[in-house]
Structure 1
Amino acid sequence: MTEQRGNLAGHFPAADGIRGLAVLVVLVAHALVMFIPATRPYLGGTGKIGVWLFFVLSAFLLTNKFLKNGLNIKSVSEYFFGRALRILPLFFIASVFYFYLGYYDAETLRNVLAFQQGFAHLWTIPVEFKFYFILPILLIAFQAIRNRFGVFSVVLLATLIATAFRYFYPASLLQENSIETRWYISSFIVGILLSYIIRNLNTPLRKYGFYIFALMFLLLLIIPSFCDLITGRVIVPNLATSYLSISIVWAIFIFLSVSDRGITSDILSSSLMRKIGNHSFSTYLAHWFVLTQLAEKHTNSIPMMLLSIVASLLLGAIIYFVFERNIETFRHRVQKAMTRPSK
């Protein structure tokens, strides 16, 4: 038990499982809307609940890595190289793939590759990739404040920054599937703050299953159709503009999940969920192709909808083993060489 705080400050066995949960949320939401058109008025935008989890988790893990390894020229250089190699090759392959299948024309392909335009689910990639350039700047400021005034000052400064972005870029003006990172800065800041909180709290590992499942039920209530069915009214009419509140719920979920030693930890740390999480980027990029192709021919077929979800996961695994794993092996090899002390 003496290693609990160290584990929470450095390694998170449930992280891959949480990533797997995020892609499953997106998959199921998109599959329901595409295969069962009658659900569209009730479930439209539900996949974004999974997207907000991706944003918070990404900011949390990347911040934790910086706080663990330090902020210097070598670590930042290694970080930028790693992020570029992690995202760009597969994104390029996916973008060209959708172009050759006729999902969009050459001009749209150029705009998508230049991060000037989104397409369907691909809009999230420019948002997150541009955040990668902002993160080190934020952390340099946060670390300077922390070293002089303490962690509470970081929390205060981050809250002020998030509030300022919400003021200058109000959610009411957010365009659907905007590729502009500035709209979602507050969600990423929630993930950054979560990393600072976990590293500075001596949180014991215990069973948090009840609270985690309560949070999951709260997220279900956020879905307009489910909320209307249970309560007779809609609490959150537009999921796309509720990214901050949903991000905060997800941050609490992540906090409890990485601190849990009960059934939730067992599920998220299971081999299946970790594999889904490891393949999540490939699955996310490819699932739109599988769903659109099958939904067009099998509308209102629940068996085919379930098959499409399984097929998306299988295609994601294939892409992972054919492309992503080799790219990741090369990336880790280069990053290891970059961090090796010079003689």
Structure 2
Amino acid sequence: MNTFNPTLHGLRGLAALAVLIFHWGETFPAFRQEISANWGIVGKIVSQLIGFGWVGVLLFFVLSGFLLTTSNGHMAFNKKALGVFWARRFLRIYPAVWLQLIILSSLLGVLHGLNVPASTGQWLSNITLFVNLPPYLPYPVNAVWWTLPIELSFYLIFPLLLLFAKRHSFLTLLVTAVVITLAWRIAVMWYFREEPGYGPVQPYLDLLPGCLAIFVMGMYAAHQSMQLSAIQQKLVITLSLAALGTLMYWLTSNASHYWNGHWMLVIWNFSVSIVLATIVWVTGKNPEIRKTMLSGKLTVFFGEVSFGIYLWHFPVLLAFHQWTSGWQNNPWISLLILPGILLPTLILASISYYCIERPAMQLGKRLGSTPRN
């Protein structure tokens, strides 16, 4: 079954670009500060949108749940099928990461901001992507790898989640996942209640139990087959974007309390995932909505190379930060640095995709079609 949807590809590309822009805004803040202070309400809104680019990670998680359910919804639960599934997931992540690890290893000590493994154990942690995980929280060479163990954990248990949904229902799976996620985040906050803030224990909060409901929201959306009229689609997208803006405003209004134990630390990510899953559901299940700029050739290309964008933008950003030392307080130079980061990132992401990722995925396809019930 061909499950390719250009609009979902476009959304994936948008997620990767949002994360890139977020890290640019954090590392080169002069332009954000300028527009927030001097461009009125429009400048403040744009500045806030840049600051929320990290929500692209949540969109990645929702899309993973949606796309895996769409493409593997009828998989058989036997040894061969599971082996094929996990091998394909392995090939989707590790070859591109290993290529990057080889290249970045030659830049350790030269490119400031990379984490230098201090022992053989830390090198093995990076090779296996057992990074940013308790109890030792080994640092990844590339800081953005912190999401990959969460994604891989979801891949590992996805067949079990799918089997649970088939034996019970996707709604039961969703309710169970929500309970697990909220309970986990509450438990982590309680356990570390004596800490001055929860920022340093974010790796514990965001382990798979703390993010499970986000992935499962995508799975649940993939299972919903209701079709909407063109007007209904536009209305749902409009209301979803309004809800997303409201949630962002809510977090912004409580930013000073968020990491100090505000209860939204328990529910905010999952609340946003409901909105994101709604948008993914509309674009994934209603063909009419696909005729948008998100399904254009450029945005589909961004989607194709989105994993490479995610992997490579941060080292490129670190290089620009090192090279432009002393110029970064100028807001216009800060702005010009953005396309300077984007172009080499796209080149490296394209090399990663066409030379490593796509051949690895083709190898996965040659392992044989996933057996069906």
Q: Same fold (TM over 0.5)?
A: yes
Matched, 1:52 2:76: no
Q: Identify if the C-alpha distance between structure 1 residues 312 and 166 changes in structure 2 by more than 3 Å, giving closer, same or farther.
A: same
Alignment of 1:274 onto 2:267: no
| 1:277-299 deviation digits (Å, cap 9, x = unpaired) | 11111111111111111133332
Q: Among 116, 121, 137, which residue is 1:105 paired with?
A: 116
Question: Any conservation in 2 of the 1:118–1:177 contact (CA below 8 Å)?
Answer: no
After TM superposition, the structure 1 = structure 2 runs for residues 241-280 of structure 1, keeping only pairs within 5 Å, are 241=265, 242-261=268-287, 265-280=291-306
- Measured after TM superposition, the shift of residue 339 of structure 1 is 5.1
Equivalent position amino acid for 1:314 in 2 = I
- 1:86-135: CA deviation from partner (whole Å, max 9, x where unpaired): 11111122233323211232334333223133431110111111221121
Q: Does 1:184 align with 2:211?
A: yes
Who is 2:309 aligned against?
A: 283
1:93-242 aligned within 5 A: 93-102=99-108, 103-106=114-117, 107=119, 108-114=122-128, 115-116=130-131, 117-119=138-140, 120-146=143-169, 152-170=171-189, 175-177=201-203, 180-196=207-223, 198=224, 201-204=225-228, 206-207=230-231, 208-223=233-248, 233-234=253-254, 238=258, 241=265, 242=268
Partner SS for 1:101: coil
- 1:297 and 1:219 map into 2 onto residues whose CA distance is 36
User: What amino acid is aligned across from residue 182 of structure 1 in structure 2?
Assistant: P
In the alignment, residue 334 of structure 1 is paired with which amino acid? L
Deviations 1:130-169 (A, max 9, x none): 22112112222221113xxxx5544444444444444444
Specify whether residues 72 and 12 from structure 1 end up closer, same or farther in structure 2 by C-alpha distance, changes over 3 A only: farther
Say if 1:158 and 1:193, in contact at 8 Å, map to a contact too.
no
**Distance in 1 between residues matched to 2:251 and 2:215, nearest whole Å:** 26
Residue aligning to 1:309: 342
Unaligned runs of 5+ in 1: 1-5
Q: Secondary structure at the match of 2:292?
A: helix
Per the normalisation by structure 1, the TM-score is 0.79
Cα distance change on mapping 1:238 and 1:167 into 2, 3 Å: closer
From the superposition, tell whether residues 254 and 216 of structure 1 become closer, same or farther in structure 2 (CA, over 3 Å). same
Mapped pair 1:329 → 2:347: no
Residues 260/66 of structure 1: CA separation in 2 closer, same or farther (3 Å cut): closer
* 1:58 Cα offset (Å): 0.3
| Paired residues of 1:212 and 1:257 also in contact (CA < 8 A) | no
Q: Give the whole-Å Cα distance in 2 for the aligned partners of 1:213 and 1:186.
A: 24
Query: Separation in 2 of the partners of 1:118 and 1:51?
Result: 19
Q: Does 1:294 align with 2:320?
A: yes
Contact residue 17 and residue 276 of structure 1 kept, 8 A: yes
Contact map agreement 1:279 1:316 (CA 8 A) in 2: yes
1:30 correspondence with 2:23: yes
What residue is the counterpart of 1:3 in the other structure? none
Pair 159,294 (structure 1): closer, same or farther in 2 beyond 3 Å: closer
Contact 1:205 1:261 in 2 (8 A): no
How many residues matched?
321
2: CA distance, partners of 1:180 / 1:161: 12
Q: How far off is 1:84 after superposition?
A: 0.7
Q: Within 1, Cα distance between the matches of 2:96 and 2:185? A: 32
The AA in structure 1 aligned to 2:71 is K
* C-alpha distance 11-285 of structure 1, shift in aligned 2 (>3 A): closer
Aligned counterparts of 1:223 and 1:308: Cα–Cα separation in 2? 26
Letter in 2 for 1:258: G
1:206–1:259 Cα contact (<8 Å) kept: no
Per the TM alignment, residue 68 of structure 1 is displaced from its structure 2 partner at its CA by 3.3
- 1:26 offset after TM fit, Å? 0.6
Kept after mapping to 2: 8 A contact 1:53/1:247: yes
Distance in 2 of aligned mates of 1:69 and 1:136 = 9
Whether contact under 8 Å (1:165, 1:183) holds in the other structure is yes
The share of aligned pairs that are identical, in percent, is 25
Residues 18 and 277, structure 1, Cα contact 8 Å, conserved in 2: yes
Q: Say whether the 8 Å CA contact 1:187–1:247 is kept in structure 2.
A: yes
Cα deviation for residue 220 of structure 1 reads 4.3
CA drift at 1:202: 2.9
Contact 1:32 1:39 in 2 (8 A): yes
